[in-house]
Structures are given as structure tokens and as C-alpha cells.
Structure 1
Amino acid sequence: MRSLMLLLCMLLSPPPLGADGHNPLLPIPQQIHYGSGRLPIAGLEIGFAFSPTPQDRFAADELASGLLSRAKVTVQVSEGEARQRMVVLRRAGSGADLPQPNEQAGPDSREAYAVNVTSEGAEIRANSSAGLFYGVQTLLQLVAGSGTEAAFPEAEIRDWPSLPYRGIMVDMSHGPLPTENEVKRQIDFLAHWKGNQYYFYSEASIELRGYPVLSGDARFSQDELRRIVAYARERHVDVVPCVELYGHLHDLLRVERYAGLGPLLHGRELDPRNPQVATLLAAWIEQLADVFPSPFFHVGMDETWEISKAAAAKDTSPDHLYIEQLQRVAGVGSPARQDGASLE
């Protein structure tokens, strides 16, 4: 009971103030220096120091929406001539919108940004639209007060990620299936804290053409997933497929039509030596690669609890049987990802 009361107090208490009585900034920026002045929000406009892309415009709209929600002040987004009291978005490069293979973190990374607030105006500088978006999140956290009292504190901030890949894996195969809108809320939360990967874990909860009876009443349609992927991309979050292609497939193999695809009837694992399994893998990977255009494709090959029995029945070793399936998946997956994507 004492632990429960402590938890409730922590959840219900107001957030602690950060440096010098200012709002706490999370994640904590790499460098931050506060001045003594402030920038009133009422009367500001949001503008660009360049011709904005749709992603840049989205970041500006997010700033305007956030200021209305937090500060209770309407701030317009303008693409005309810069005025004196503006929040200016300045993108100096054309870095990728989403995480790419072999990225490195650091002050020169595509996600790095700088925020400068004076009593005359504010500026967010970045090398990519992702950096601008993250600068917007930090600027919104600086808001103090509301209405005519709403203001930004004078500040100079430089920030960059400590890790190039920052995400979560969400299990879509156990327990109640979340709705499309719930997944979008999770992505909003992740993006707010500058996360950039959402691993969509599925065993048999995705619509796959040619397999109509597979989890027919408990799956995401491909159209739903495409909307989720597009929604996440606007927020610089990459939705990465995280799928099982060996074990964890009881939802498939318990269906009589597909029961023979496993070495054991109605089991949990695919049979690497069944020719129909190669057909299934090719169909699944091709469709998943089309729905998820991520440069990453995560394949699960764990918990093959039946492999010893299957290997004994086929007069081979568990090691050899596992390697056969691993090579088969790699052989099918590589041609399906000809865009340089990483099959993990």
C-alpha cells in the first residue's frame, strides 16, 4: 500500500522545474543556456527561411497546433516575407526524413538542431526536416504561461541524439488488438519524445492476400497499415515490420488448411523442407515489403521448441534444420528488398 501511495503521489504531482526555474526539457538537450529575457507568444508568426517541403510545413503546423494547445494562443504559419517577430524555421540541408542504415549520432547528424530565442524572435535551425520537427518539440516544451502571459524564455539550445536509432517494439499478436487510432496515439507519444522507430510485431495479425482465413477477425488490413505508415512518416517515425518466419506461428498452423506446413501437425513452426513453405515465405515477404517501405525488415526466428522432434523425424540435426530455414528466409527476403533495405 505504501508503494502504491508513493506511485500515485509521483503521478499526480506537478512536473518539477528545470534549470533556473524553467520547464524541464526531455530528452535533456546536449547544450542549453538561458538568458534573462522572454519572448511573448501573442502576435508571433511562424515562417520559413527557405522554400518549405511538405515535411517542413508539417513541422510548422505542429508548432502552431502545439502553441494553441499549450499557450492558448493562435499563431499563424506564413510563407510570405519574414517579419520582425517570428519563429523562423531554417533548414540548411536535405537529410533523409527517416532513419537509414549505418547512421551515426552526433552534432553533425541529420537529426541535430539548434533553437535560439531572443526577445525579438526565435529560430530553429537543422540539417533536415526531422531536425526541424525535433526543434519544434523542444520549443513547445519551453512555453510558460498561457494567453497574454504566454512566453518563451530567452534561450540558446543545441541538441543532437545520443543514439541514432530510438524506438519501441509493440506486440500486436497477444491480447486485445489495438485500433488504428490507438497505434497513431502511440506514434504521437513516441514522436513527442523524439523516438524514430516503431517496431510492429506480428505473428499472424496482418492481412495477407491468399490467406483469407488467417486471423480473419483479428488483424490489421493492409490499407490500415499504409495509413499508419504514412502517419508515422510525417512525424519522422519509421514503422519497421517485425515478423516471425519460423516459430510463433500456431495461429497459422492450427488452421486445417495450413496445418501441413509444419513438421508436426497443428504445431508452432514451419517445415523448412516443405516446398509449400517457400511459396508462403515469398508471398508474405513480398506483401510485407510493399506495405512497410522501411529500409529495415526484422525477422524473428526464435523459440523453435519443436525443432528437436522435427529434426529427428527428418534424420537430421536441429542445427542443420535451423540453418536451412535461415538460408531460405535470407534467399527469399533479399530479392524482395532490392532497394538496399536491411533484412535483420
Structure 2
Amino acid sequence: MWSAIRMHMKKRLSGILACAMMCTPALLGLDAPRGKDIRLEPAPKEVQLGSGAFQVGPHTKIFVQLGHQAEDRIAAETLAEEVLDQSGLRLNIAGMKAAAKAEGGAIVLARLQDERVRSFLARNGLKADAEVGEDGYLLFSDKSHLIVAANSGQGLFYGVQTLRQLLRPSDKGLMCPAIGIRDWPSLQETTPMISRELAQSEMRKPRE
């Protein structure tokens, strides 16, 4: 009888220990999936989680491509304001001829018409296909790169709204978790380019 009871208790104890081993990482935050902490609205169509993070510090710059500066600067200024509000950092916005030369260590707002941008994103699992369309965007972040790319200024603005939600406080300023995103509107928008006033009002909305 006692041997049967001991066997039963041993099985129960083994089950409890197994459960504890599975639950402890989540409870203590050790090696827990970071995806559970990333909530984006609206939810992107495709998300790939990586390891590490891009650090946004006092020397980080925001680059926009020459030829699209007037249109894309709205998105760049929206992002710069978000960084300032969250961290007090004032990031410079600069123009560039070749996105590929400015990718490392900078936040790049690029156009998917640039073959170098498309190739770089494709190598990292983000394809700029017909699904992305005119108003969709691709977003890629790792330890060395932070890129938002789209076919239009509208798409770039949408991508920046997602990036704003990804930024987190860090010892050096802010960080963006390593991630790859492909997203596009569910319905084709027919409205004109978002105005500067609307961009600023969106920027001041409280974060959920």
C-alpha cells in the first residue's frame, strides 16, 4: 500500500516540477518570448521577431531620400517628435542620395523604388511585392539597422506610426526591438496625402 502511495506522490511531484520548469522563465522574464510584449494597432499583416535591438541615442540621425524630402519630411518630423517626447533626444533629419550608404546606425526612411533598399530588405526576409501596394510599408530593425520603406509618402507615414509604438526606453535613450514587418491597408485608401496638421494631431494622441 505504502509503495503505491509513494509511487503516486512521486508522479505528482514530477508533474509539478515539470510545470514549474515550464512556467518559471515566463514568470521571471528569463528567455520569455518578447512578442507577447509587442502590441501594435492596427495589427500588421506579417511580423517576424528577431533577437537584440536597435539603440536610438544622441548621435542617431533620421535620413530621408533626396527627391522625396518635402513629402517624407512629415513622417520624419513625426518620428523625431516622438523620440523627443519619450527621451528628450533631438535627432537631426538629413537628406541622402543612396539609402544603402546610410543604413548602418541610422534610422532610414526610404522608398521601395530604390533597388538597393528592396534588395537589402529581401535579404532579411521582407519582400516588396504587389501586396504591399502603394500605401503599404516594410519595417526592419536589428542591432545595426532601422529602416522603414514604402512606395509612397502615405505608406511611409503609416510605417512611422508603427515604429512609434515599437520604441521603448533604454539606458542610452530608446530602443526598437529586432523585428521585420510587412503591412498594407485592408482597403485601398482614396484620401489624399495626410496633411501636416493631421500628422501633428496623430503625434499628440495618448499612447494606449
Give the TM-score range, shorter chain.
0.5 to 0.7
Task: Tell me the equivalent position of 1:318.
Answer: none
Supply the distance in 1 between the matched residues of 2:152 and 2:187 (Cα, whole angstroms): 17
Q: Percent identity?
A: 29
Q: Distance in 1 between matches of 2:199 and 2:108?
A: 29
Q: Which residue of 2 aligns with 1:86?
A: 106
Q: Which has the higher strand share?
A: 2
- Structure 2 segments unaligned to the other structure (5+ residues): 1-32, 114-129, 192-196
Amino acid corresponding to residue 54 of structure 2 in structure 1: L
Write the distance in 1 (CA, Å) between the matches of 2:43 and 2:160.
Answer: 14
8 Å CA contact retained: 1:70, 1:146: no
TM-score when normalising by structure 1:
0.38
Residue among 110, 113, 136 paired with 1:112? 136
The amino acid across from 2:73 in the alignment is: R
Q: Indicate the residue corresponding to 1:41 in structure 2.
A: 56
Query: If each structure's helix is expressed as a fraction of its own residues, which one has the higher value?
Result: 2
Instruction: Give the deviation of 1:54 after TM superposition.
Output: 1.0
Superposition RMSD in Å? 3.0
Task: Give the 3 Å change call, closer, same or farther, for CA 50–185 of structure 1 in structure 2.
Answer: closer
Higher RCO structure, 1 or 2 (CA under 8 Å, sep 6+): 2
- Kindly state the Cα deviation for residue 164 of structure 1 after the two structures are TM-superposed: 2.0
Whether 1:68 and 2:88 are equivalent positions in the alignment is: no
User: Does structure 1 conserve the Cα–Cα contact (< 8 Å) formed by 2:135 and 2:185?
Assistant: yes
Pairs within 5 Å for 1:184-333: 188-189=201-202
Cα distance in 2 for partners of 1:130, 1:39 equals 24
Deviations 1:135-162 (A, max 9, x none): 1111111011156252000000000011
Aligned to 2:160: 136
User: TM-score, with normalisation over the residues of structure 2?
Assistant: 0.61
The one-character-per-residue Cα deviations of 1:284-315 (angstroms, maximum 9, x if unpaired) are xxxxxxxxxxxxxxxxxxxxxxxxxxxxxxxx
Q: Do the aligned residues in 2 keep the contact of 1:71 with 1:144 (CA within 8 Å)?
A: no
Match of 2:44 in 1: 29
> In 1, Cα distance between the equivalents of 2:199 and 2:93?
27
Partner Cα distance (1:82, 1:186) in 2: 25
